[in-house]
Amino acid sequence: MARILALDPGQTLGFAVLDYQESNSAEKVWNLEGTGTTIAPVLRSSGKVELEMKPVKSEGFDWKKVPYQIQNLLDSWDPDLVVLEDYRVYGSKFASGHIGRRNLTSELIGAIEQEAAISQLEVIRLPASKKGSWPEARIRSMYPTALEAEKPHAFDAVLLGLVALEEKYDWKPIYAWRERTNQP
């Protein structure tokens, strides 16, 4: 069995814990494309952590408790992989609001990566746009358990975990695999 801890960073940190193991059951399973090996991803937990940080006068935050909160999350779930929603600023009229300012989400991503490195955990970042590969109709048919997660942060974390299974490990929901290969 392996475990993914997916995180949607922000002042409210959304999280999802997905376990996956080989499975031969008739449940909705995923297939490692072209191998016949199947897994059954299980949503162990999802939720949000209200990070304990206080604004300080220099437009920053008092981060004293945040590393402990992050490490507690890592220790509690003992993941094999940490998946983060990446944060990027694109050229637009809204981007000018970032000029000359510190950015909480970027700093939090760095803090998470630091704590993961201390724990010797692999971290991958996925752009927010990747969650679009899991529209609600696809979720309902292939992983309805995701709909139980609280929106928006925990739900987004579940989607990141599902994307990681597809992107990093090349796992695909078996129904999609059967359709592409015309397998029974």
pLDDT at 41: 82
* Structure-model confidence comparison of residues 77 and 64, the more confident one: 77
Residue with tokens 């090349």: 170
Within 8 A by CB and 6+ apart from 73, the residues are 5, 13, 15, 49
- Ordered domains of the chain (ranges, CATH): 2-181 (3.30.420.10)
Higher pLDDT, 49 or 167: 49
Q: Which residues contact 110 (CB under 8 A, 6 or more apart)?
A: none
In this model, does residue 65 exceed pLDDT 50? yes
pLDDT at 126: 93
Decide: 37 and 31 in contact? Cβ < 8 Å. yes
Check whether 92 has a pLDDT greater than 90: no
The answer to whether residue 34 scores a pLDDT higher than 50 is: yes
Sequence-ordered alpha helix ranges (H) in the chain:
66-77, 104-118, 136-142, 153-167, 174-181
Average pLDDT on 51-64 reads 76
pLDDT band for 180, please (50, 70, 90 cuts): very low
Contacts of 104 (CB under 8 A, 6+ apart): 10, 11, 61
Q: Which of 49-58, 59-68, 88-97 has the lowest mean pLDDT?
A: 88-97
pTM for the whole structure: 0.84
Chain segment 129-145, per-residue pLDDT in tens: 888 888 888 888 778 88
pLDDT, greater one: 28 or 136? 136
182 confidence band (pLDDT: 50, 70, 90): very low
Using pLDDT thresholds of 50, 70 and 90, give the confidence band for residue 30: low
Preceding amide of 152 cis, omega within 30: yes
What pLDDT is recorded for position 176? 45
